[in-house]
């Protein structure tokens, strides 16, 4: 089995959303040797959704587990308070539905609280209803993500901070708050369209593929590396963190095989989301211990 930096998703949604159990789960996962803890983002679960989750149907437009969904940054803050070494990541935060300067402050504070362990994973999401509910324009969301990246880097490195864009205007302001990581937390981007992959290569510190079979990882990664080279950046410095969402009933040996196949394509970081496998948080920890035994420590 190829060595890989393996992470696991925190109990955040569905039957596992026992938010008072997050700290115990986080501490136990670190003790088991996991390298990272991850959360996702879901603002609401519409009764009559504007869009289906990838692979959804009229009868099941999105996983029913999404009805109960804890706030991602609050859960990472709780996890930070009881851990010392694990990385803490979002895969992915729908960054465009948040006020940019408010999100910048929250992320910077979390990086400070965690002692510089934050990985900022961003995307644009797939559900128009979340944009409607937050007063965010759906059209041009890719451009909004580009502008959000500008705001974050300005907030993290500028003083005073000032921004004038299509979506946000920030008057010149002094910002004493600085992230623990220098120059800022790593920014990883999701998506698999050509535009999203090129954006990773041009602007991000890495890519967050989700549910991508191993045979396609290398092909999609080539788009990222080509874009990085064109932008004068070093493709070898970019990270890949694969998210695996096992379906109910999946054998953990099959999950380990997926990780092995991904590692053979050059992926060195991944995390597993147990939300569709586990009955409750206790069961999720049992599965985490079993999986940790199948995948060698980095």
DSSP string, 130-171: HHHHTT--STTHHHHHHHHHHHHHHHHH-SSEEEE-SS-EEE
Q: What contacts 31, CB < 8 A, 6 or more positions away? A: none
Helix (H, G, I), strand (E, B) or coil at 99: coil
User: From CA 153, how far away is CA 4, in angstroms rounded?
Assistant: 30
User: From CA 49, how far away is CA 266, in angstroms rounded?
Assistant: 37
Helix (H, G, I), strand (E, B) or coil at 259: helix
Question: Residue 19 has what pLDDT?
Answer: 82
Q: What contacts 269, CB < 8 A, 6 or more positions away? A: 4, 5, 7, 35, 36, 239, 240, 241, 242
Given a cut of 70, the residues of the chain with pLDDT beneath it are 1-3, 298
CB 279 within 8 A of CB 11: no
Question: Residue 27 has what pLDDT?
Answer: 97
Q: Is the pTM of this model over 0.75?
A: yes
Question: Residue 20 has what pLDDT?
Answer: 86
Long-range contacts of 111-116 (CB under 8 A, 24+ apart): 111/179, 111/180, 111/181, 111/185, 112/177, 112/179, 112/180, 113/77, 113/80, 113/81, 114/76, 114/77, 114/80, 114/88, 114/180, 115/80, 115/84, 115/180, 116/179, 116/180, 116/181, 116/185
Count Cβ atoms below 10 Å from residue 77 Cβ, excluding itself: 17
Residue 68 burial class via C-beta count within 10 angstroms: exposed 0-12, middle 13-18, buried 19 and up: middle
The secondary element (H helix, E strand) that includes residue 106 is helix 100-113
Count Cβ atoms below 10 Å from residue 260 Cβ, excluding itself: 15
């Amino acid at each position: 089995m190829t060595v890989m930096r393996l992470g696991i998703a925190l109990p955040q949604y569905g039957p596992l959303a026992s938010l008072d159990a997050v700290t115990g789960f986080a501490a136990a996962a670190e003790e088991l040797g996991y390298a990272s803890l991850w959360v996702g983002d879901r603002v609401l679960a519409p009764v009559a959704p504007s869009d289906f989750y990838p692979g959804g149907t009229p009868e099941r437009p999105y996983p029913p587990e999404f009805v109960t969904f804890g706030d991602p940054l609050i859960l990472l803050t709780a996890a930070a308070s009881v851990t010392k070494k694990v990385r803490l990541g979002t895969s992915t935060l729908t960054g465009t539905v948040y006020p940019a300067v408010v999100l910048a402050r929250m992320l910077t504070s979390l990086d400070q609280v965690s002692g510089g362990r934050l990985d900022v994973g961003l995307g644009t999401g797939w559900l128009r209803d979340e944009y409607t509910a937050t007063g965010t324009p759906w059209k041009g969301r890719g451009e909004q993500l580009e502008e959000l990246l500008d705001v974050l880097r300005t907030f993290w490195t500028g003083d005073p901070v000032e921004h004038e864009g299509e979506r946000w205007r920030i008057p010149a302001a002094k910002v004493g708050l600085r992230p623990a990581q220098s120059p800022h937390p790593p920014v990883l981007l999701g998506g698999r369209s050509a535009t999203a992959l090129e954006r990773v290569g041009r602007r991000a510190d890495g890519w967050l593929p989700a549910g991508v079979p191993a045979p396609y990882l290398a092909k999609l990664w080539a788009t990222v590396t080509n874009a990085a080279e064109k932008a004068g950046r070093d493709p070898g410095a970019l990270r890949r963190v694969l998210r695996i969402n096992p379906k109910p009933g999946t054998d953990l040996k099959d999950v380990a095989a997926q990780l092995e196949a991904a590692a053979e394509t050059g992926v060195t970081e991944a995390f597993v989301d147990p939300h569709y496998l586990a009955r409750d948080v206790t069961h999720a920890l049992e599965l985490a211990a079993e999986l940790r035994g199948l995948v060698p420590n980095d």
